[in-house]
Amino acid sequence: MNRRSFIAAATPLAVLSGCLDGNESGSSPDGDGSTAGEGGTGTDRAEPPFDVTTVDGPGSDAGTVSVPTDGQVQLVNFTRLNCPTSKALLPRVAEARDRLEETVDVGPDGTVHVLSVIDGSVGAQPSATELADWWADQDGDWTIGNDETGALDDHYDVTLRPTTIAIDGTGEVHWGDEGGTTVNTMVNGVETALEAAGENQ
C-alpha cells in the first residue's frame, strides 16, 4: 500500500469527524488529486526519512525522531492541539500502545514506536514547554513531536486530523485512518505492518 491509498481504509464517518488543515477542500496540495513526485508539478518535495523534533514530556524525551526508522514499525498519530476529535482519540492511542506492549517491544528503540505529531506549519504553534504541558494535560505517555516544516504531513498527504498510520522501516503505509478509529483497528494495523516487515526481511 502506498502512502496515499491508505485513505481508502478510513470510514466515511471518520472522514467527516476530523479537523481540516488550511487546505479546506481536503484535496491534495496540488489541487488536482495528485502530488509532487506522483504526477504533480512540484519539484521541492522532501523525501524520507524526516526528523521530527520531540519534546521533554510524559513518556517523551527532547531530541529528534526519524520517520521512518530502519527496522522499526511506527504508529504515527497526526494530532492537533485545538481539535476535539484529535484529543478524543489520544486515550485510544494510549490503549493501543498498552495492548501492543503485551506482545512486542514498544518504545523509541523498540520493535514498535508510537509517536504523536503536530504540524509545525499550520494551526497553533506552541513552544516546546507549551507542547509538553499540553501533553501532560492530555495524559500522554509516549513520544510527542513537532513536524516543524510540515514535510511529514506533506509526504503522507495529511489534510485531516486526527490521521493515524502504521508504517514499516521504509516508510511504506500498511494501514491508515482519517478522523478516528478503534483500539482494535490500530492494533491490527500495527500487526499488519509487523507481518509485512517480517516477510520483507
Residue 58 forms part of a structural domain: yes
Q: At which residue does the C-alpha cell 519539484 appear?
A: 43
pLDDT digits (tens, 9 = 90+) for 63-105: 999 999 999 999 999 999 989 999 999 999 999 999 999 999 9
Give the residue among 145, 149, 153 at the shortest CA–CA distance from 63: 145
Residue 16 forms part of a structural domain: yes
Mind giving me the DSSP string for 103-151?
TS-BSTTSSEEEEEEEETTSS----HHHHHHHHHHTT--SEEEEETTSH
Cell of 37: 513526485
Residue 140 forms part of a structural domain: yes
Q: How large a percentage of the chain has pLDDT more than 90? A: 70
**pTM value?**
0.81
* pLDDT at 21 (0 to 100): 62
Residue 160 forms part of a structural domain: yes
Residue 29 forms part of a structural domain: no
**Whether pLDDT at 128 is above 70:** yes
CATH code assigned at 139: 3.40.30.10
Residue 170 forms part of a structural domain: yes
**Whether pLDDT at 24 is above 50:** no
- Residue range 16-23: mean pLDDT, rounded: 60
Which domain, by its residues, includes 194? 5-22+50-199
Residue 174 forms part of a structural domain: yes
C-beta separation of 117 from 78 below 8 A: yes
Q: Which residue has the higher pLDDT, 111 or 9?
A: 111
User: Which segments of the chain does DSSP mark as H helices, in order?
Assistant: 12-16, 84-101, 128-137, 151-155, 183-199
Distance (Å, whole) CA 88 – CA 110: 26
Q: Which residue has the higher pLDDT, 84 or 24?
A: 84
- In the chain, the number of structural domains is 1
Distance (Å, whole) CA 66 – CA 141: 19
Residue 41 forms part of a structural domain: no
